[in-house]
Amino acid sequence: MSTKLVKSMGSAGGTDAGLAGWLVVLALWTRFFLMVGVLKSIGMMIPLLQDQFDTSTWVLGWISSIIGTSSGISGIFSKLIGRRFRPGYAVMTCGVMISAAVIIASFATSPGHLACVFVVLLGTGFGISGVLMKEVIGRCFTTNYATATGIARTGDSAGLIVCAPLFQLFLDTYGWRGAMLLMGAISMHLVVCGALMVRAGPTSTYQELSEDDVISEPSQLPTSCDALSRNLSRNFEIQLLSDYRYWAAASVACCTKYAFNMWIIYFVSQAQSNGFSLEDATTFVTVAGVGGLLGRLAQGLLMDRKIIPLFPLMAITMTVCSASFCATPFLTSYWLMMTSSLMIATFSGALCCLQDVLCKQVLGVNLLAGAFGWRGITSATMDFSLGFIPGLIYDTTGSYTTAFIFLGSVQFIPMFPLLILRYNGWVE
């Protein structure tokens, strides 16, 4: 079989990319902005949808969490899509899917309709676009990888700052259906980012692959099961599933994502149950967004300037974040609640960037696409299995106290595999 020229995302080493790399950072920033904005919008609508559809809190919370499930499962196919198509075109398609999902959801008449739209379109669009862009950034940036990741992930913080008050304005003015239509229109910005990636061109370079790395044309598919098995193993990086380093890094990412996503979904309702108004809760979320932005930027400075090594920085952020989750349900003071939300968002923001740095440090750049894909599936399994628990605890006990203590415990669990990585010298 002759070798072919196929697209590959940059190089595994060398200097940082120029404008093309920063355009990918912009695209990933937009993707994070939209994902947090959509999740926060759904969280703010839980009381309204509960009355509209005559359903339980845990059902709506679980529907919100399965967005992550669909996102994780679809992410594993990103490597194949990245090999076959240009990343920009894939991102444009994902932007259309996300926008269409939010617009269609505005016409839903039952929780089942929401679940179907979120699984098929919304989660898939977020999953494929996220893995593709993170892998490109991993190859484009070497010395400033933590900084590039941190800047891209400030989209989370911007989403919290902007979308909470903006969506509240939409709700008050147009109702929940009109508000969802407007969020769908805003989501079309990801299509523009994909177009910029296509126009940039240099985000991908051509390299000649070896005989073993060739992507076969449909007419040249392997005829033996053994060859097919090797091809699937190579494309999906199945060997990662037997590597402890992957599972240790995945535990940090999955627990952090789960705890923070549940906080996004339930915090407004929890604050209201503590006696705060919806306007107060919106203010807390906005301030938290500022903290998340600072946390993401600060970790890039600390890591790339080699001020604090990765292990102690992750240990500090994990411990403070866990303690803040546990303390939140006991706070009735306005300023203490604001401080708690600020601490959670700041340290979760730093931790969500450090988990990508950890993945690259312990596994290497060549396994990033597979690691991000399998990490997404692992996280999706966790979201699917445990996403309903905080809502169920609230429905059972009538309080969010136990639910938030549970989230704090989940956030602290990765400390143990992280200690093993440090003991074996796999992380600085």
- How far is the C-alpha of 355 from the C-alpha of 39, rounded, in Å? 21
- In tens, the pLDDT along 402-417 reads 999 999 999 999 999 9
Q: Can you give the pLDDT at residue 86?
A: 78
- How far is the C-alpha of 163 from the C-alpha of 23, rounded, in Å? 23
Range ranked top by mean pLDDT from 153-167, 189-203, 348-362:
348-362
CA dihedral 359, 364, 366, 371 (to 10 degrees): -20
38 band by pLDDT with thresholds 50, 70 and 90:
confident
231 band by pLDDT with thresholds 50, 70 and 90:
low
- How far is the C-alpha of 391 from the C-alpha of 399, rounded, in Å? 10
- Residue type for 231, please? N
Rounded mean pLDDT of 9-24?
63
Cα 134 to Cα 79, 353, 373, 423: the distances in Å are 11, 11, 10, 28
Task: List Cβ neighbours of 375 (8 Å cut-off, separation of 6 or more).
Answer: 72, 246, 249, 250, 253, 254, 359
228 band by pLDDT with thresholds 50, 70 and 90:
low
223 band by pLDDT with thresholds 50, 70 and 90:
low
Q: Can you give the pLDDT at residue 386?
A: 85
- In tens, the pLDDT along 311-344 reads 999 999 999 999 999 999 999 999 999 999 999 9
236 compared with 178, residue with greater pLDDT: 178
Q: What is the DSSP letter of 120?
A: I
Strands 205-208 and 5-8: antiparallel
Contact 78, 373 (CB under 8 A): yes
Range ranked top by mean pLDDT from 13-27, 204-218, 371-385:
371-385
- Residue type for 160, please? L
Q: Can you give the pLDDT at residue 87?
A: 80
Q: Can you give the pLDDT at residue 15?
A: 58
User: Is the pLDDT score of 212 beyond 80?
Assistant: no
Counting residues of the chain whose pLDDT is more than 90, the rounded percentage is 29
Rounded mean pLDDT of 293-307?
89
Least confident range from 25-29, 252-256, 257-261: namely: 257-261
Q: Is 8 left (phi over 0), alpha (psi -120 to 50) or beta?
A: beta
User: Is the pLDDT score of 168 beyond 70?
Assistant: yes
To the nearest 5 percent, what fractions of the chain are helix, strand and coil?
80, 0, 15
Average confidence score pLDDT of the chain: 83
Rounded mean pLDDT of 37-63?
82
Q: Per DSSP, what are the bridge partners of residue 207?
A: 6
Structure tokens at 97: 């899917």
- Residue type for 191, please? V
Structure tokens at 125: 């669009």
Q: Can you give the pLDDT at residue 227?
A: 67
